[in-house]
Amino acid sequence: MSETNQADINTLGFVSATEELQNNFKQVEDMMKMFSDSHQSMNLDPFNLGEAYTDWMAAVAKDPAKAMQASMDFWQQSMQLTQQAMSHAFAGEGQEKPEPVIAEGRGDRRFKHDDWSDKPVFDVIKQSYLLTSDYARKLVSDVDGLDEKTEEKVKFFTERYLDAMSPTNFAATNPAVLEKTMETKGANLLHGLKNMIGDLEAGEGKLKISMTDTSAFTLGENVATTPGKVVFQNRMFQLIQFSPSTDKVLKRPLLIVPPWINKYYIMDLQPKNSLLKWLVDEGHTVFVMSWVNPDETYRDVGFDHYVTEGVIKAVDAVENITGEDEINAIGYCIGGSLLTTTLAYMKANNDARIKSATFFTTMIDFEDPGELGVYIDEKQICGIEQNMEEEGYLDGTQMAGAFNLLRANDLIWSFYVNNYLLGNDPRPFDLLYWNSDSTRMTAAMHSWYLRNLYLENNLAKPNALEINGTPIDVSSIDVPACFISTVDDHIAPWLSTYKGAKLFSGDVRFILGGSGHIAGIINPPEANKYGYRVTDELPDEPQAWADSANVEEGSWWPNWNTWIRPLSDEETIDARTPGDSTLPVIEDAPGTYVKCKLDDPTPVLEETKLVKPAAKSKPAKKAEPKAKVEKPAAVKAPKAEEKAKPKEAAPKVEAKPDDLTQIKGVGPKMAETLNDLGITTFAQIAELSAEQLSAKLVEVDARNSRYDTVAWLEQVAQLAKK
């Protein structure tokens, strides 16, 4: 080789690149060996797909006609595509492009590069993939003889396989990657390999694709920046009180219960889209719970603890700090399910401090959890429990991976192409930073939650659950409630959240926003996006509700604000500053717990001792003048004839109506139903059998069959004696 040619190669960096490439492959080889050595201890089919696809094949074999028809359609369309491609190849320039045999969906962003439609070879590759995908979907849809659960699983994972096999995911068939490779002389692939090695190292042999530049963000500096102070803490959460930005605030404070499977600052990413800042600016005294990121020492912490040491204790702290025993509350996602459970628990224990409840994308009825249902069956839960038994918790990356798989093209393959094939470094993005900031879940709580809510749907059944020995009945909740759901939510489908809203006994407003689980909630008014539907009347059929609901433009935030303010007569007081109460400031927001990363041990913090607030002084009653007491006249003894005269019968006194809402499970609406049936006292209920009482209720509304009338009868005997 000439010196000139060697110099040219060195100029291109091929020698150094080759050496670096060899080193990189050596690292990958070592990692793969480590992964291979440990594979025997892994469950390589955690979703039991082998069994599901075996059942599917057996069902197809029993009725092959549909599969044969799908194959014939696929063959005909493939021939049409072949003829079209041949015709286009031999035609001269300027020929009008024929209509495609098949086209991608409107929301499919994988094929946005011009070559997918302008270059015949890529157009054929794209259409061939789309035809094959359509064929596969037809094969796994509406299969006779296959149970619904298995069919959903087969359809879901077939779709994920098709996502993985997209030609956009391979360097040789992605025009954008080929173009970048030519421009950089292959440097993109080399840099992409380095990115992959870094992700393999971060995942300890498992590919953990980076979605964003996590080094670009620091909590309290450029995310989670709304000013506030930690004013209470225990082993379960830190309570943050945000500093006021108005001179006057609503007298009734606001407590927010976020999900514990994510961190609270999704509501406080940047000032322009911070829900927490907006609430403060609207004059609310805002408290938010920042949940602990539990490690193995929390193994036995269960759902009960999240109620009693969590939400109940937060309510105690808010009352202690503000002196108010009337509180508004918000629950987000599973935080809303927890808030629902807490409200039923409080109702059963005559605790009425929470006066209104708002639920963001919250399921209470889990009968149809949408695509998440493919992860829920006895075998999969047993597998999760086995893993948690070893660790004491569920690693947050497992939950994140499950959620990401629901939107694989957007949350997995787009980053695979960008980081590894195009060789780009992940860009800073606050939402994806939050999404990658995973939390752990305690073994006891997560097992209870999966089984009782998702698998058995017990929260929707009156008295099917107990918290600290207290039966939980959602239908007893009678405080004003507002449900906010989103039309494209794949985690809490709005049809399911609507069913949950129907379980409450009090007045309910339902708002359906646009977009998905996050964007539909974090939707500031300034953005003027998505729009929403809203009514205060909830017919039985969700579609009937959607057809009759008012359609409004922009964000739902202001509408919610006009709903919640009148509930406390918009009474205002001077703004409350954190620390100006019985409890001193502990530290600045966002606090210690939220900064605990996935691999960090859980911080051990000193529990705050609550000081009982001074009793509210009541205005003294004006002394009323004493009435003049007349001396009673002497009573003469009756004469003999008067004694013999029979007394007239005393007028019959009607029984005074009882407060039927004292019966656990009976809210104001049910009490009104009973009154309409002529049942106004505990004694009247006690005279009926459980079957008779249930039959009367079912005559009014068939849904009333869900009520546990046996439990009612057990209570009324005691209540009637009081």
- 333 a catalytic residue: yes
Supply φ then ψ for residue 466, to 5 degrees. Answer: -130, 140
Structural element, H or E, at residue 23: helix 14-37
The crossing angle, in degrees rounded to 10, of helices 148-164 and 49-62 is 110
Cβ atoms of 132 and 51 closer than 8 Å: no
d(CA 467, CA 305): 9
The crossing angle, in degrees rounded to 10, of helices 120-140 and 65-90 is 170
From the CB of residue 298, how many other CB atoms can be counted at a distance below 10 Å? 22
Name the residue among 165, 160, 167 with its Cα closest to residue 124: 167
d(CA 472, CA 454): 16
Per-residue CA distances from 80 to 98, 128, 130, 419 (Å):
11, 11, 14, 36
Q: Is 61 buried (19+), middle (13-18) or exposed (0-12) by CB count in 10 A? A: exposed
Record the tokens describing residue 233, joined without a space.
């803490």
550, β-bridge pairs: 534
Record the tokens describing residue 342, joined without a space.
């807490």
d(CA 721, CA 638): 38
Q: Is 665 left (phi over 0), alpha (psi -120 to 50) or beta?
A: left
Which residue, chain included where needed, has tokens 């889990």? Answer: 366
d(CA 96, CA 19): 49
Record the tokens describing residue 642, joined without a space.
């008067």
d(CA 16, CA 78): 46
> Longest Cα pair distance anywhere in the chain, in angstroms?
149
d(CA 704, CA 696): 9
Q: Which of 333, 382, 482, 596 is catalytic?
A: 333
d(CA 210, CA 342): 37
Question: How far is the first Cα of the chain from the last one, in angstroms, to the nearest whole number?
Answer: 106
Catalytic site residues?
A: 333
